Amino acid sequence: MHPFHAPAAVTALLALSPLLAQAADGDSAFAVRGSISAGSAWRTAERDANLIQRTNGSAAGIPANAPHGRNQDDGNLNFDKGDTLSRVVKGFLHLAYRHDTLSAALGAKAWYDDALLHDGRDWGNGPAGYDAGRALSDHGFSRRGSFSGVALMEAWVAGTFTPAGLPLQVRVGNQYLDWGGRMSIGGGLSALQPVDLPAMRRPGATPDETRVPVTALSARLDASDSTRLEAFYQLLWRPTELDGCGTYFATADYVAPGCNRVMVGDTVSDPASVTGGRFLKRSATPDVANTGQFGLAGFFKLPSLSSELGVYAAQYHSRTPIASPIRSARVGGAPFLPGDADGLNAGYLTEYPEDIRVYGLTWAAKLTRLTLLAELSHRPNLPVQLNSVDLLNAVASNTAPSLLRADMNATPYGGVLHGYDRLSVSQLQAAATYAVDRFLGGDTLGLAGEAGIKFVHDLPDPHLRRYGRSDLYGVGTVAGTCTSTPTSCANAGYVTRSAWGYRLRAGWRYPAVLEGVNLSPVLSWAHDVKGWSADGLFNEGRRFAVMALKADIGKRYLAELGWTHTFGGTYNNARDRDFLAVAVGARF
């Protein structure tokens, strides 16, 4: 998108808001809400030299100790302590209309990140040709992943009918699949709903901005006072939006759209590899079917237990990509030659496996001050990414150590070795919230806690087949031999049979601290205690601490200040990504 379009869109949202509010005042069937904000974020931690590959660090003049990992360090190289991560203005607008049994909704958002568009960076990124000192490029990024843009959000129409005297609501258009949305630990039923990671990173992000709507036909039938049924059929496939290569939170330099190179070898830097053709070229992502995604759920109230039980079954196509290598078409020769003069080098692509099945149970109970939640989900055929170094060594060399050598040899020349296996995976999680009145002079203290455990039921022996783990940690032991560092050679960091962690949150409210000003401090803590999960959401030893202060000024204005500290985890390649964010805005 042209960089001047997004600011104009944000300005238009602000200019329209009073007019729309006046229209809403005159017609109770029409409602409008929205927000506009400006914010900035800064890195607050020094780079960890153990997370930066040596040749890249040397080329950038930055301390670096890691022997491997050239395909995951661009974001770290681009931002030093104190650097501005984001300087963004953004807006959101949502319109709703209801008349008798018909209703409709339309939403849109716009954003413009001046820091990402214009600030020079120490290293650069692939789309910018690693041009140090100049701004990053978002060329080839998806629309929502770009540094400025406008995106359609909800856009649906609905009607309520009464077949057999039972209320049936039918909705068609862009909407959200909110099954499992009350849990904070992902990977369960909430995985049906794609999310917008770049939007989550923007200062002052709200839930309205961070989900990707899916085009679907959905229905809800209230079969009785205690029973309701819900169903959906997705009409267009939509993926989760990924952090673009070279941005602060990106931990892979070749997966997001527009990030089209996997660097080969550890002896030269990324810019030198681009100049010398020492990289795997990316091929187009195969089309993903718009058919075959659907779900059915039943909800049953249990009045004697003050609770509700939910039962779910669904099929969907992966929201996140798998990286898969393409075997060289050079029969009998080296699979990779710098420069690729004959065009027969090995390559890679990203793909989205289809027809993932998920089954689930949920339980929710509401007591006076206490709310209890539980969810059990099972996927009998979840695609799990094979270890990236095993894949790269197998595709780029005939001799480099890899557990996937036989798989590559069995792949036709020029064919794709799918970079995943389908495994049977389950997840159990439980949460509780509790409200306390008049805590420490405040109005209400809200406490929340959640714990989850993830299982892989048919995980192979990691000496034979390995999944997950960043390429920062190099190749592990193959056939009893490993010549790398102890961290690389350890049989750890790969997906384990089980993994668990927990999340805690406390937030309280101080009304009228000043006239018309309400303050809300929030403290959050997350700890991945044991194991590495198949979806990467649990990484043993990783911890997060968040401190935030929010201010509501009158009924319209708001301000927010927050600091996030992330640390721990031997195999956590983002453990130095602390940041401070501030945002101010208005809502209507």
Q: What's the pLDDT band for 471 if we cut at 50, 70, 90?
A: very high
135 contacts 116 by C-beta, under 8 angstroms? yes
Residues 6+ apart with CB under 8 A from 400: 393, 394, 475
437-466 per-position pLDDT tens digit: 887 777 889 999 999 999 999 999 999 999
Tell me how far apart the alpha carbons of residues 185 and 107 are, in angstroms, rounded to a whole number: 27
Q: What mean pLDDT value characterizes the chain?
A: 95
* Residue 555 to residue 565: CA distance in whole angstroms: 31
* Bridge pairing between strands 444-456 and 420-437: antiparallel
Mean pLDDT of 322-339: 97
The tens digit of pLDDT for each residue in 238-286 reads: 999 999 999 999 999 999 999 999 999 999 999 999 999 999 999 999 9
Q: How far apart are CA 263 and CA 280, in angstroms?
A: 6
The model's confidence at residue 11, banded by pLDDT at 50, 70 and 90, is low
Reference 272, options 433, 123, 86, 68; nearest CA is 123
Between residues 23 and 570, the one the model is more confident about: 570
What's the token pair of residue 82? 């104190």
User: Which of the four pLDDT bands, split at 50, 70 and 90, describes residue 12?
Assistant: low
Q: What is the mean pLDDT of residues 330-348?
A: 97
147-180 in b/e burial notation, b at 16+ Cβ within 10 A? bbbbbebbbbebeeeeeeeeebbebbbbbbbebb
What are φ and ψ of residue 396, in 5° steps? -95, -5
* Digit-coded pLDDT (tens) for 50-94: 999 999 999 999 999 999 999 999 999 999 999 999 999 999 999
Give yes or no for residue 4 having a pLDDT over 90. Answer: no
| Alpha helix segments (H runs only) across 466-566 | 486-489
Closest among 470, 473, 468 to 489, alpha carbons compared:
473
DSSP designation for 404:
T
Question: Which comes out higher in pLDDT, residue 72 or 332?
Answer: 72
* pLDDT value at residue 25: 47
173: left (phi over 0), alpha (psi -120 to 50) or beta: left
What pLDDT sits at residue 501? 99
Window from 1-5, 288-292, 453-457, 556-560 with minimum mean pLDDT: 1-5
This prediction has a pTM of 0.93
**Burial class for 549, CB neighbours closer than 10 Å (0-12, 13-18, 19+):** middle
46 pLDDT more than 80: yes
Side chain identity at 581, as an amino acid letter?
A: A
* Predicted pLDDT at 22: 46
